[in-house]
Amino acid sequence: MNLRCYFITLFFGMMLIGCKQVRKAADVIVQPTAREVYERNFSKNDSLLLQWKNAFKNAKHDSIQITLPYSESGIFSEEYFNVYSYNIQLKEGERIVVEVEKQLESALVFVDLFQAKTDSLQSFKLLKSSENKKATLLQEIEIPGFYKIIVQPQMKLQFPFVLKIYTEPVYTFPVSGAGNKNIQSFWADPRDAGSRSHEGVDIFAAKGTPVVAVTDGRIVSVGERGLGGKQIWLRDGLFGKTIYYAHLDSIAVSEGKKVKIGDTLGFVGNTGNAKTTEPHLHFGIYKSRGAVNPLSFIKKTEIQPSEKPSTIIKAVTLKNRADVHKGPASVFEQFGSLKKNDTLIVLGKNQKWYHIQTPDSLKGYVNETEIKPLPPN
């Protein structure tokens, strides 16, 4: 009898191992999101799971708006199914970065990026999800427009967090030692008494300053001709773009050469039709449809400072009547008002604005001057 039980147990154990191996093999092909992997830990009809999934579904319709860079500190609460949803506008050439710093390393936080199907912000499609056990998301933007970020912690676990959302350029800066302040002529500026417009940006620097490859690629053309004078054309094989460097004083590469990001290609000058101007690099980007504005591809960005999570409170009440805004500033649309002594759930804090949720699940921002902590129980 004992031997029979042993073989039965062994049989089902092997079956279980076999199923797990099949799932692992299927995951390599299907590549489930971290959220989907987490949901496997629960039965489909688990009441907590259904509430958690419903909170995520409702967050897709939230109208919170932010500008970047953005940071928020708070505490993920075990009492509520809090979901953080933000509408943002992104440009081609930017890389969106979402980072969630957790004091509890083992805790799971899921980050999803959606792209608006239309400018109405009413319909979104999933673009990317964070990887399993990683509370970060990075995505290079190829189509400018509206996007939505949704951040949701795992169920029934409380821990402090710092959320950072910002963009960074997909390319490095093309002039060594220079930065945003060196860009002094921009896309679409009029040229030749308005007969044409500027198809790039001009980056001013001392004559002879190194000009570098903004990405890995291959030099497809070099020479001196036309308005651009001494010029280099770099092909970005990854994105299929052609990058144009003009008005160079001298060229340090030859046609056909493969280059790595940061390699010196030439040196700043004022050749071509720039002989009467200060030395600068004309930098342009071309796609199959023609020239595109290169600014967002190279413009450096900063990360907004954030408050320590330990200083954040979980619930507050109002000193007086207060307006609720769609974003963390008075310039954002006001879409509701609250009465004195109304009790609010604090989702987090951005600078001087509390990210709040009302008892009827309205989410928005209220200025810190209108807030007072709830007295202890």
CA–CA separation, 273 and 24 (whole Å): 61
Residue 132 CA: distances (Å) to CA of 51, 125, 129, 194, 293 = 21, 20, 9, 53, 35
* 167-212 pLDDT tens trace: 999 999 999 999 999 999 898 788 877 778 889 999 999 999 999 9
Q: Which tokens hold the place of 202?
A: 């001009």
Best CA proximity match to 363, nearest among 343, 339, 342, 346: 346
Please count the helices (runs of H) and the strands (runs of E) in the chain: 4, 27
Query: Are 231 and 219 within 8 A, CB to CB?
Result: no
In contact, 283 and 215? CB cutoff 8 Å: no
Residue in 55, 35, 49 with CA at minimum distance from that of residue 363? 55
From 137, 152, 66, 151, select the one nearest 96 (Cα to Cα): 137
> Phi then psi for 12, rounded to 5 degrees?
-70, -30
pLDDT score of 123:
83
Residue 370 DSSP code: G
What is the 8-class DSSP label of residue 134?
A: -
Q: Look up residue 109 and give its two tokens.
A: 């936080």
- Tell me the domains of the chain and their CATH numbers: 34-169 (2.60.120.380), 180-298 (2.70.70.10), 313-373 (2.30.30.40)
Average pLDDT of the chain to the nearest whole number? 88
pTM of the entire predicted model? 0.86
pLDDT score for 72:
95
Cβ pair 152, 57 in contact under 8 A: no
Ranges under pLDDT 50 in the chain = 22-23, 25-26, 28
Residue 166 in tokens: 């910002």
Q: What confidence score (pLDDT) does residue 37 get?
A: 92
Which pLDDT score, from 0 to 100, does residue 8 have?
Answer: 58
Cα dihedral 179, 180, 184, 185 sign: positive
Cα 281 to Cα 207: distance, rounded to the nearest angstrom? 10
CB 85 within 8 A of CB 149: yes
Q: Give me the helices (H) in the chain, please.
A: 2-30, 34-39, 47-59, 295-298
What is the C-alpha to C-alpha distance for residues 87 and 64, in angstroms, rounded to an integer? Answer: 6
For residue 355, the model assigns a pLDDT of 95
Q: What is the model's pLDDT at position 81?
A: 86
Residue 11 confidence (pLDDT): 56
- Looking at residue 203, its pLDDT comes to 98
* pLDDT tens-digit series, residues 353-377: 999 998 888 899 999 999 888 765 5
